[in-house]
Amino acid sequence: MSARAGVLITGTEVLSGIIADRNGPWLSERLREIGVDAAQIVIVGDRRSDMLAALRFMAAEGLDVIVTSGGLGPTADDLTAEIVGQFCRREMVLDTALEARIGEILAPMLKRWPGLDPEAIRHSNRKQAVIPQGATVIDPVGTAPGLVVTPARGDGPTVVVLPGPPRELHPMWAAALLTEAFRAATAGATTYRTRILRLFGIPESAIADTLRAASEAGIDLDSLEVTTCLRRGEIEIATRYEPAVEHVYDAFADFVRRRHADSLFSEDGSTIDEQVAALLGGRTIAVAESCTGGLMAARLTDRPGSSAYFKGGLVVYSNDAKVALAGIDPDLIERHGAVSTEVAEALADGAIERLDATIGVGITGIAGPGGATAGKPVGLVCFSVHERGGEGITRSVNLPGGRVDVRDRATVVAMHLLRRLLLGSRSPEPARGERRNEKSRCGSGASPE
Amino acid sequence: MSARAGVLITGTEVLSGIIADRNGPWLSERLREIGVDAAQIVIVGDRRSDMLAALRFMAAEGLDVIVTSGGLGPTADDLTAEIVGQFCRREMVLDTALEARIGEILAPMLKRWPGLDPEAIRHSNRKQAVIPQGATVIDPVGTAPGLVVTPARGDGPTVVVLPGPPRELHPMWAAALLTEAFRAATAGATTYRTRILRLFGIPESAIADTLRAASEAGIDLDSLEVTTCLRRGEIEIATRYEPAVEHVYDAFADFVRRRHADSLFSEDGSTIDEQVAALLGGRTIAVAESCTGGLMAARLTDRPGSSAYFKGGLVVYSNDAKVALAGIDPDLIERHGAVSTEVAEALADGAIERLDATIGVGITGIAGPGGATAGKPVGLVCFSVHERGGEGITRSVNLPGGRVDVRDRATVVAMHLLRRLLLGSRSPEPARGERRNEKSRCGSGASPE
């Protein structure tokens, strides 16, 4: 029986959508890595009764560990330490050593913000040194200490209390793992393996079909935990299993590989961004983009070290900019329209030329909600990826969704075209039929459910 | 007594962090708008027992409504309709009219994906027409129908069952609101008002101090629900209250305004992006950016209609690109380094010049993790915003956090500098002292807790 955990995210600003929670899923993943199953993530506001009810729900579910995030700050609505103390039936006490430690942390900060009243700040932060008696303290990365609190009567889950800011949460989670209290609570956890397959260019229902066929072919999918999801136009098949059934996973992966050879682009968890970066192999890249408005350049520079291959980008939002910056012939725009495969090709060439790059990417399209014309609907995006003096791929695709979706999805399509181009010498260009097919696939409104 | 609701997000891919949940907070906000308090958001995997336990927890909390999202797809791990049927003690029945409706929806889709086996697809989707007896059906936007299910025995919450993809969820939520079953469950809900104040350039602890001072000054904050949070370097104070205590909110907002006149930039919920767009008033804008790699251009083109004022952008990642595209004098880079206020100013001028814009933005910095030199640490970013032949503001700022934070936060600082420039004729340039102060503020590592 493996250890099970719950994640409790607190904060009215998270519950109400003012900020998006990234900590719940992050903690869930980290728990899985150490063989602890996250049974649920619960998000509650900064309300005493709701926080306590959520903790008691998790205890009633028989969970071994609860990890909380948030509610450790200096303001009065930060209640987590106190509520966890109540839940674990431990008295709240001022830890004077901790108070001194927080004082040390605040000292340089106070110097940097000379306008603040030091006494008011110290008062705000003294609260952060009041903790459940007997709790293990995790040294603050910001000003808020973490806690590992065991139940006073020995029954019930151990609670790991961590701050909300990811920059503090991440290192403090690593420190919490090393505490005696946490180890005791998760002793005997099974270690699972998680493997991810990524596909591009097929609908999720085709994967549902493949899962059924795999079962029918005798692959024991019940021994694996298979999850499929559509994410930014790519399908991810995440599979978690105990090491003993590795051979079942191998058979399953092989089955998927044989049915979806054209679509399967990652078997080792690598992302399309990682693959493109690796495939460049010394070549340099430049972008001239219109409807994506800088997102393609931003995506290519998202990775540390991208300055080794990314030369630069032209965000040619207006026709004037297309002409002045990317050197597009105004007649070409006049003849074919700014959103056309011809202009996309000229943009890719312009990027190569102006930025002295080996590879150019051109993107022009209609992100909406305005800008559609007869025959050119919102979502139409034209792409061209070219190698200087070499091969090139040009496509016109109808992307589903609103402005945000179209802009984001366009960068996904461009990344996959880049991968195809970079693999060019190793993999054959697709046949005409496949090309047409690929076009319509991108335009499908297939449900991501 | 106002109506209370719970939100249940299902999906192993959401629980495990493969995809981020945006639906929970979205539904929480929509519920609030109609005066229904979201008590919690619970995220569970596609596991029968965990889903049922979460529903029962919410019922035990006495909630009036539960809204679920996800788990309505064609694959076997999509269990929501069945589990909700069990929870509401209703038998599952095939709705043949619904089956026919889904068939109609699938027909054109099958034509677009000619490689698929139509029978396999129909089989996958027939499952979606099996619903709890007596449930109100919400017409699918994709292929998955929504449901409003009341408890068979009349006691317990009414459950609104919606699909996971936001594109389907959003319109189907609107349709669910109109159903008789939903109206009955939320009858008598109080309508709250939510108001948001936004500040930039102060630490959250200063706001904690202000809240205490407001209480001491006799403002009855207990009658308001005040939430503060640090988000991308800006502080948001969200306040929810019943209309009867509007005067208390007014006194509170006035108190904040008097204490933080310099930092308070939004009192009507408007974002910095909306403000900058509105303040441009016919002027055009162009960007030359290095470390932000396209994010600043992407941010300025995020809004529909931005083509009216955004001329274009230069992503000048390499020094060659800075020279070739933005016309930076190589000697300037040699003398001051690529990351310098001098180069930032030249970038802003280059953007104006090359893109024929009224206003130019120049950004150059060290996003990390590499690239730091003596005196120029990771996080150092230089900004310049200029009006053609007019006023300009140039700043050098140390931003906290890792690569992603630095890149993102740099766009926030640039937006605020733009606002300041655009307000220029109406508001005085800050005094020298304030300038220095502003610099150090941006560099603070203040905890966002």
Tens-place pLDDT, residues A360-382: 999 999 998 888 888 899 999 99
CB atoms within 10 A of CB B448: 22
Handedness of CA B275, B278, B281, B282 (dihedral sign): positive
Mean pLDDT computed over every residue of chain B: 87
The interface residues of chain B toward chain A in range 288-347, judged by CB-CB distance below 8 A, are 292-302, 304-307, 310-318, 320-321, 324-325
CB atoms within 10 A of CB A49: 11
Decide if B314 and A312 are in contact by the 8 Å CB cutoff. yes
Phi, psi (rounded to 5 degrees) for A189:
-70, 135
What single letter denotes the amino acid at residue B46? D
Q: Check if the beta carbon of residue A144 is closer than 8 Å to that of residue B447.
A: yes
pLDDT of residue A128: 87
Compute the distance between CA of residue A107 and CA of residue A111 in angstroms, rounded to an integer.
7
CA atoms within 13 A on the CB side of A29: 15
Q: Is B62 on the interface with A (CB under 8 A)?
A: no
Beta bridge partners of A105: none
pLDDT of residue B112: 65
The nearest alpha carbon in chain A to B56 belongs to: A57
Nearest to B27 by CA among B170, B135, B136, B138: B170
Angle, helices A246-259 vs A204-216, to 10°: value is: 130
Beta bridge partners of B42: A42, B8
The nearest alpha carbon in chain B to A300 belongs to: B293
CB atoms within 10 A of CB A180: 10
What DSSP string describes B196-226? EEEEESS-HHHHHHHHHHHHHTT--GGGSEE
* Residue with the two structure tokens 């061209």: A384
Closest CB to A24: pick one of B43, B73, B142: B43
Once rounded to an integer, what is the mean pLDDT over residues B195-217? 90
Q: Check if the beta carbon of residue A18 is closer than 8 Å to that of residue B227.
A: yes
pLDDT of residue A446: 30
The secondary structure element, H or E, covering residue A123 is helix A118-126
**pTM of the predicted structure, to 2 decimals:** 0.76
Compute the distance between CA of residue B381 and CA of residue B347 in angstroms, rounded to an integer.
13
* Residue with the two structure tokens 């009867």: B244
For A405: left if phi > 0, alpha if psi spans -120 to 50, otherwise beta; the answer is alpha
Q: Check if the beta carbon of residue A71 is closer than 8 Å to that of residue A144.
A: no
Q: Check if the beta carbon of residue B100 is closer than 8 Å to that of residue B107.
A: no
pLDDT of residue B401: 79
- Assess whether pLDDT exceeds 90 at residue B217: yes
Compute the distance between CA of residue B199 and CA of residue B201 in angstroms, rounded to an integer.
7
Once rounded to an integer, what is the mean pLDDT over residues B13-19? 75
pLDDT of residue A74: 76
Beta bridge partners of B131: B93
Q: Check if the beta carbon of residue A31 is closer than 8 Å to that of residue A23.
A: no
Nearest to A287 by CA among A255, A310, A265, A260: A310
Decide if A54 and B74 are in contact by the 8 Å CB cutoff. no
Decide if B370 and A304 are in contact by the 8 Å CB cutoff. yes
A291 Cα to chain B: minimum distance (Å): 8
pLDDT of residue B18: 66
| Contacts A438 to B, Cβ<8 Å | none
What are the E-state strand segments in A77-224? 92-94, 130-132, 136-138, 146-149, 158-162, 193-200
pLDDT of residue B428: 39
Closest CB to A293: pick one of B18, B293, B298: B298
Q: Check if the beta carbon of residue A366 is closer than 8 Å to that of residue A380.
A: yes
Mutating which of B315, B409, B435 best tests the A interface, going by the most A Cβ atoms within 10 A? B315
- Assess whether pLDDT exceeds 70 at residue B434: no
Compute the distance between CA of residue A78 and CA of residue A71 in angstroms, rounded to an integer.
4
Angle, helices A341-355 vs B319-326, to 10°: value is: 120
Strands B130-132 and B225-231: unpaired
Q: Check if the beta carbon of residue B386 is closer than 8 Å to that of residue B348.
A: yes
Closest CB to B208: pick one of A12, A75, A318: A75
By CB neighbour count within 10 A (0-12 exposed, 13-18 middle, 19+ buried), where does B212 fall? middle
Compute the distance between CA of residue A162 and CA of residue A147 in angstroms, rounded to an integer.
7
By CB neighbour count within 10 A (0-12 exposed, 13-18 middle, 19+ buried), where does A215 fall? middle
- Assess whether pLDDT exceeds 50 at residue B68: yes
What is the per-residue burial (b if ≥16 Cβ within 10 Å, else e) of B21-48? bbbbbbbbebbbeeebbbbbbbbbbbbe
Q: How far is CA B376 from CA A65, B367, B417, in A?
A: 43, 11, 22
B290 Cα to chain A: minimum distance (Å): 9
The interface residues of chain B toward chain A in range 240-279, judged by CB-CB distance below 8 A, are none
Compute the distance between CA of residue A327 and CA of residue B354 in angstroms, rounded to an integer.
12
Phi, psi (rounded to 5 degrees) for B193:
-105, 140
Decide if A324 and B229 are in contact by the 8 Å CB cutoff. no
Q: Check if the beta carbon of residue B34 is closer than 8 Å to that of residue B186.
A: yes
Closest CB to A229: pick one of B19, B115, B307: B19
Mutating which of B4, B7, B15 best tests the A interface, going by the most A Cβ atoms within 10 A? B15
The nearest alpha carbon in chain B to A17 belongs to: B25
pLDDT < 70 regions, chain A: 1, 18, 109, 112-116, 189, 425-449
Compute the distance between CA of residue A253 and CA of residue A199 in angstroms, rounded to an integer.
12
Compute the distance between CA of residue A106 and CA of residue A147 in angstroms, rounded to an integer.
19
pLDDT of residue A1: 52
A316 Cα to chain B: minimum distance (Å): 5
The interface residues of chain B toward chain A in range 166-185, judged by CB-CB distance below 8 A, are 167-168
Compute the distance between CA of residue A166 and CA of residue A69 in angstroms, rounded to an integer.
9
Q: How far is CA B122 from the centre of its chain?
A: 37
Decide if A311 and B317 are in contact by the 8 Å CB cutoff. yes
Domains of chain A: 4-185 (3.40.980.10), 193-266 (3.30.70.2860), 272-443 (3.90.950.20)
Number of residues in chain B: 449
Range name among A77-91, A254-268, B134-148, B429-443 with the lowest pLDDT average: B429-443
Decide if A318 and B297 are in contact by the 8 Å CB cutoff. no
Angle, helices B246-259 vs B204-216, to 10°: value is: 130
The nearest alpha carbon in chain B to A326 belongs to: B325
Compute the distance between CA of residue B172 and CA of residue B140 in angstroms, rounded to an integer.
7
The interface residues of chain A toward chain B in range 109-168, judged by CB-CB distance below 8 A, are 109, 112-117, 120-121, 124-125, 142-144, 163-165, 167-168
Nearest to A63 by CA among B324, B53, B139: B53
- DSSP tally for chain B: helices H, then strands E: 17, 17
Closest CB to A28: pick one of B16, B24, B40: B16
**Structure confidence by residue, pLDDT tens digits, A84-136:** 999 999 999 999 999 999 888 877 767 766 666 777 777 777 888 999 999 99
What is the per-residue burial (b if ≥16 Cβ within 10 Å, else e) of A55-91? bebbbebebbbbbbbbbbbbbebbbbbbbbbbbbebe
Compute the distance between CA of residue B391 and CA of residue A77 in angstroms, rounded to an integer.
43
Q: How far is CA A250 from CA A199, A225, A245, A253, B76, in A?
A: 17, 14, 9, 5, 21
Q: How confident is the model at residue B447 (pLDDT cuts 50, 70, 90)?
A: very low
pLDDT of residue A244: 92
The secondary structure element, H or E, covering residue B238 is strand B234-241
Beta bridge partners of A225: A240
Compute the distance between CA of residue B328 and CA of residue B88 in angstroms, rounded to an integer.
69
Compute the distance between CA of residue B309 and CA of residue B282 in angstroms, rounded to an integer.
7
- Assess whether pLDDT exceeds 70 at residue B425: no
What is the per-residue burial (b if ≥16 Cβ within 10 Å, else e) of B242-278? beeeeebbebbbebbeebbeebbbbeeeeebbebbbe
Give the rounded percent of residues in chain B with a pLDDT score beyond 70.
92
pLDDT of residue B11: 87
Decide if B311 and A302 are in contact by the 8 Å CB cutoff. no
pLDDT of residue A73: 81
- Assess whether pLDDT exceeds 70 at residue B331: yes
As for the ipTM of the complex, it is 0.75
Q: How confident is the model at residue B301 (pLDDT cuts 50, 70, 90)?
A: very high
**Structure confidence by residue, pLDDT tens digits, B226-269:** 888 777 889 989 898 888 999 999 999 999 999 999 999 999 98
Decide if A315 and B316 are in contact by the 8 Å CB cutoff. no
CB atoms within 10 A of CB B330: 11
Q: How far is CA A318 from CA A321, A365, A412, B119, B154, in A?
A: 5, 12, 23, 48, 60
At B161, list the tokens. 């069952």
The secondary structure element, H or E, covering residue B285 is strand B285-289
